[in-house]
Chain A
Amino acid sequence: MLLVFYQYLAYAQEPCNIALNIKLVEKHNGQVVSPAVVHVDEVNLTVEADEKGIVTIDKLCAGIYTFHVHAAGHEHYLEKVNVSKNGELKFRLAHLEGWLDEVEISEERTSTVIQDKDKLDKEALTQQAGNNLGDVLKTVNGLNTLNTGATISKPVIHGLHSNRLILLNNGIRQEDQQWGSEHAPNIDPFLANNITVIKGAAGVKYGTEAIAGVVLIEPAPLRRKPGWDAELNLAAFSNNRMGVASATVEHNFKKLPPLSFRLQGTYKKGGNYRTPNYWVANTGVEENNYSATVGWNKLHYGVEVFYSHFDTDLGIYRGSHTGNQQDLNAAIHSDTPLVSAGFTYDLERPRQHVVHDLFKAKMYKDSRVGMWHATYAYQHNFRQEYDITRTPTDDAQMNLTLNTQTLNLNLEHVPVWGLTGELGVDGIFQENFIQPGDRLFIPNFRSRGIGSYLIERYKGADWVVEGGLRFDYRWYELFNPEGRNGEVVRYELDYKNLSATIGFTKNLSDDWQYSVILSNAWRAPQSNELFSAGLHHGAARIEYGNKDLKAERAYSINTEVKGAIGEKLTTDISLYAQYIQDFIYLQPQAYQLTIRGFFKTFGYTQTNASLSGTDITLNYNWTDNFSTDLKSSFLFARDLKAEDWLILMPADRMTLGNRYQTNVGNKLKDAFIQVQGQYVFSQWRIPENFDEIDYPRPPDAYFLLNATIGATVNAGKQPFQISLTGNNLLNTRYRDYLDAFRYFVDQPGRNIILRLRMPLTFEQ
């Protein structure tokens, strides 16, 4: 039976002036359901829910009303309610498995195979406003970050990162030198209306490098109703005195209903960040981003054009670019950072400057066989590194360009024999080159790839089964300067792969849902893994590539159980196990003597690895206003050939949060206070030869206390959302294993963040 929860407020009862506040939530995880439409039969009233899944209906007479709720991706909800006074209703809609949450009523559908998916909705993203993408994603259970200091943050899914996961930037695979451990994603989180994280191999739909998973960064669909929409987001961070401002404006033309556009821009500027005891020199950041979208959307076809520009300057802590192994050891053993600093916004060398331009054109057309989509994208990534030089210069020592073109064609076909699904073709063309006179980094290359896939889904009474198949071909042409004279040697390499997936979801009862997915993914070795022959700055090590590396192939099994126990407790438990054949990693080799002294050397090699673990989320609603949630993640990563643990894997962690939310009078809506404690274990699962590879041992376990208070303020005509967050409130001194700066400095200390969000709507 469908459950409905009532709460009556002590308002005076008046005939035909009854107001109802309806909240729409997903049945199993309590998440907001939006977009959705509520229809009341007896008064023939249809109302759209807002982005919080809330519908307000007033001026009702007392009586019995039949409520219908339609929301894409959810079962049709029907409930008869006896209305006699003002009240609040909560309707719990059951999610239709197999559909991605952002399946819009008439917008582009991004259907995908059944996977372990976590979604950050607009509300969740607003709470992270101003953070970089890695830090935003870190809030998802099972995700971590790989850092180079606090400003450079790369997402890690179940222990894997860089080119073992895909970032889909508005549907386009982000190509921004993601193989580099110091290369953060060049994506502005403010572009997103929601972010979905798919955990687990997703090679069939997304192609190569989807080994750990896929992150879908998706903007809201363009406005369809005539009029203007605007939003302003402001955030101020105390720790590095950073200010962030982002604004969006959107318009749909009354005279030309199919035409809409959106303009968006973000500016960010921060200075050195501070640990509990000292400032970290040269760690400022500046970002200038903007984007534009224009769409022509008719019922059966449409075109959308999108352009985004991302421009960032990042300082790198000067003391991290050490010289030889001895220099590194001296830095590690020093109690205080060797390079001291106060606060400044100035950026010195070493620093990075990265520009990423993305142009996308998408077309969709309905036909008798189904919905066709064609997407073309061009990405230009320009990465400059300004190193420490002996003599002052204005030049960058590395100027690396990566141009990528992608073309995707797919058809979501009409149901055939009860099967719904899609087939598609992906093509990619890439060129990567340095500027003449740069220092050697990775060889120049040109690459082409083509893939084609088929995914089919069959829905039973209370179960869904999904299967997919994909074939990929990748071809590389590399130009590597070698030897004393830097003579260019040309290499040609190609890779083929067949991926498959099969998934099954079943509703065990009204409250419980179970899914299991077997999938695989692959990736070709990256050019740095094949051809490195040089010093890795800031790590005092020389890395040697290996031309004979084979492609990695990952096979994973993910199971997820989601359910509600009684009225108050909901759980989400996922278990995963992944076998990666020919897993590429760096193996320590002999020390090498150069004029600069001794350096450790490492060579790229392959082994077979297994990564398994569990992500557990429990949520308990003590009352309608007060809830507690517990999230924990555990990862066991093994080198199967060495029969030992894998190096550099995130430690287990647990987060416990408490949240109290209520309305305060008429002026403060959804006022909340949230207190959260996070405990990160020390990583004890390290290989026996750890001391040959790395020093010192992984840092101690640590505990962080965070809190946020906030509300939506309805003062006057313009509502706005305000929140005040305190991170690391106890100003704990700690280091994290996955931060390359752990050799040199502590993690940031206390950070107080003030956020303001003003949605402005101008109805016509």
Chain B
Amino acid sequence: MKSIIMKNIAFVILVAATIMSCSKADNNDLENPVVHEEELITTVRLIISNPSGFNQTFDYKVDNGIGSADPSLPEVDDIILDANTTYNVEVKVLNEAETPVEDITEEVIAESASHLFLFASQPTAGPGAILFSNGSLDSNGEPFNQRIEFETQSVTNTGTTNGTLTVTLKHEPTNKAAINPDNAGGETDAVAIFPVKLQ
């Protein structure tokens, strides 16, 4: 009786020990996870030009990073434009976390039907505002706005004005005719807020 109990206890301990020392089947994948942050956008770039030779680039950049616990502050360029002038604008979205820098704009243009750029100016009209027109169309003839025209308004009596420009990129918007991002539906892939000064 005793030997049976002893045998049973020994068996139990042996099995338990086996479980505890179960060696990993050399699982390299497990010990070296390789993550890839999908389709990361770090930068919204505006290329603003006009026929009289003006050509400048303005960046809005936020470093997300994987696993970063520090909220990144955006690096933003001030947009300084002449009042009462029309400009041609092209939007680019980039992933500057990669080397070389990944130009995501190509992909967005290829999937133009499921993307929409929206522009909003603060103030919306009057001195200091920017009006938007002639936005480019997607493959279905619906608004896309990767290229668009800015029409800057006048300045106030003091000579300069300060406002903001918000550029939003929406993925799979449900309403392509929307002016306001909240009415467009879909997911916001990028939103860039630039300080604007007209002079």
Tell whether A pairs with B.
yes
> Which A positions have Cβ atoms within 8 angstroms of B?
318-319, 321-324, 326-327, 329-330, 338-340, 367-369, 372, 387-392, 397, 405, 407, 409, 411, 425, 427-429, 431-440, 443-446, 448, 450, 479-484, 486, 488, 490, 533-534, 544, 590, 592-597
Q: How far is the CB of B30 from chain A (nearest CB, A)?
A: 4
B35 near A484 with CB under 8 A, answer no
Please state if B31 and A405 are interface contacts (CB–CB under 8 Å).
no
B69 interface residue per 8 A CB criterion: yes
**In the assembly, what is the distance between CA of A436 and CA of B27, in Å?**
12
Residues of B contacting A486 in the complex (Cβ-Cβ under 8 angstroms)? 34-35, 66-67
Query: How far, in Å, is B40 (CB) from chain A's closest CB?
Result: 8
A405→B22 contact, CB < 8 A: yes
Inter-chain contact count A-B, CB under 8 Å? 180
Question: Shortest Cβ distance from A596 into chain B, in angstroms?
Answer: 6
Q: 8 smallest A-B Cβ distances: which pairs?
A: A427-B19, A323-B188, A323-B187, A436-B34, A433-B30, A330-B182, A440-B35, A338-B185
Cβ contact within 8 Å between A446 and B24: yes
Find A444's partner among B30, B172, B186, B192 (CB 8 Å cutoff).
B30
17 further A-B pairs in the complex, CB-CB below 8 A; given A433-B30, A435-B29, A448-B22: A323-B188, A330-B185, A369-B8, A388-B172, A397-B38, A405-B22, A407-B19, A427-B15, A436-B33, A444-B29, A448-B19, A450-B20, A479-B32, A484-B66, A544-B69, A595-B190, A596-B188
Contacts of A340 on B, CB cut-off 8 Å?
174
Whether a CB of chain A sits under 8 angstroms from the CB of B51 is no
A431, B20: Cβ atoms closer than 8 Å: no
The complex places the Cα of A445 from the Cα of B27 at a distance, in Å, of 11
Q: State in angstroms the CA–CA spacing of A533 and B24 once bound together.
A: 27
Q: Are A437 and B36 in contact (CB under 8 A)?
A: yes
Task: Give the docked Cα–Cα distance between A595 and B62 (Å).
Answer: 5
What 1/0 mask marks residues of chain B from 56 to 81 whose CB sits below 8 Å from any chain A CB?
A: 00000110111111011110000000
B44 within 8 A of A: yes
Q: Which residue of A lies closest to B33 (CB)?
A: A444
Contacting residue for A436 out of B29, B69, B188, CB 8 A: B29
Inter-chain contact A488/B31, CB cutoff 8 Å? yes
Docked pose: A367 CA to B9 CA in angstroms? 14
Can you show 27 pairs from A to B with CB atoms below 8 A apart? A323-B188, A368-B1, A391-B110, A407-B15, A425-B12, A427-B20, A440-B66, A443-B33, A444-B29, A444-B31, A444-B33, A446-B24, A450-B19, A479-B32, A481-B33, A481-B34, A482-B67, A483-B67, A483-B68, A488-B31, A490-B31, A533-B67, A593-B72, A594-B62, A595-B64, A595-B190, A596-B41
Q: How far does the Cβ of A228 sit from chain B's closest Cβ, in whole Å?
A: 37
Q: Count residues of B near A (Cβ-Cβ below 8 Å).
A: 60
Q: In the bound complex, what is the Cα–Cα distance between A185 and B76 (angstroms)?
A: 46
Tell me which residues across on chain B come within 8 A of A427, comparing CB atoms.
15-16, 19-20
Contact of A595 among B15, B41, B185 (CB under 8 A): B41
- A390-B111, A431-B30, A595-B44 given; A481·B182 CB < 8 A: no
Query: Given contacts A321-B187, A434-B35, are A428 and B29 in contact (CB under 8 A)?
Result: no
- Note all chain B residues with C-beta closer than 8 A to A436: 29, 33-34
Minimum CB–CB distance from B57 to chain A (whole Å) comes to 17
Q: Is the CB of A431 within 8 A of B24?
A: yes
- Let me know if B42 is at the binding interface, CB within 8 A: yes
A199–chain B nearest beta-carbon distance, Å: 30
Cβ–Cβ < 8 Å partners of B108 in chain A: 390
